[in-house]
Amino acid sequence: MKKNFTFIANWKMYLNFNEEIDLATSEYDNYIKLAKNTNSEIIICPSFLSLSNITQIFKTTEIETGAQNCSEHLKGSFTSQVSAESLNLIGSKFCIIGHSESRKYLHENENQIIGKLDMLIDNKISPILCIGENQEEHKKNETLKKLELQLKKLEESISNNANIREYIPIYIAYEPLWSIGTGNIPTQQHLENVFTWLFEKTQNINNNVEFKILYGGSVNAENTNFLKKIKHLDGFLIGKSSLDFQEFEKIVRLGSLS
């Protein structure tokens, strides 16, 4: 049976190791029931330190886990970095790359981000590629221009990667930087324009690749009904709201309703 929406819980660095393990174990049954009752794809992305533990906790369930980043390098003298190979070995099947916070605080550029994507594909991990425009670009109506630049390397990579045809979906998460953490949600017209453009864009990249288009940016239970109506939307990348299971549950249930 085909899954409905995808809900990715990005825990960021809000919780410490003990708190992340406690959240996963205390709500274990509820996560499983939520995925089953809503026929939703639920992916939890905790910090690196607890990722292996939480992957094992949910190993025999429908709940999947993902990393919040990875290295663009295979291996070597890259202190503090984590390889896609290691993520594969612990059983993590997803990984967020190009998140606005990583672009901002770690100064990641498009070449580095696409290098991460290539590493993930080679290790059979589904990339969750984040793209989006800042406030100035938004005001200048340069959103699509910015997204075009951010997806250019993706097109090149897929064209040159022989492994892509035997692979799994690529997730593209549109996250307008000016919306994240502010509570300011884009207008319906803006979102319709962006998602229609993204859908048409991804359809033309490679017919053998399955793309899923997500929205991320101040997603909560109050705006889910509005956001889920976006044409071509496949799910949500959820930040702080995913730390409260009751709030996360409301988002999933609301987003899963037709």
Residue 232 known to be catalytic? no
Mean pLDDT of 32-43: 97
Q: Which two tokens stand for residue 116?
A: 């991460």
Of 20, 64, 72, 99, the catalytic one is: 99
Residue 73 known to be catalytic? no
Give the closest residue to 94 by CA, choosing from 237, 252, 246, 224: 237
- Sign of the Cα pseudo-torsion (217, 155, 70, 108, in order): negative
In this model, does residue 246 exceed pLDDT 80?
A: yes
Mean pLDDT of 228-237: 96
Which one has a higher pLDDT value, 95 or 180? 95
- Read off the pTM: 0.95
Give the closest residue to 86 by CA, choosing from 55, 64, 43: 55
Give the closest residue to 94 by CA, choosing from 64, 122, 73, 59: 64
Mean model confidence pLDDT for the chain: 93
**Structure confidence by residue, pLDDT tens digits, 52-85:** 999 999 999 999 999 999 999 999 999 999 999 9
Q: Which domains are assigned to the chain?
A: 6-256 (3.20.20.70)
Of 64, 101, 108, 175, the catalytic one is: 175
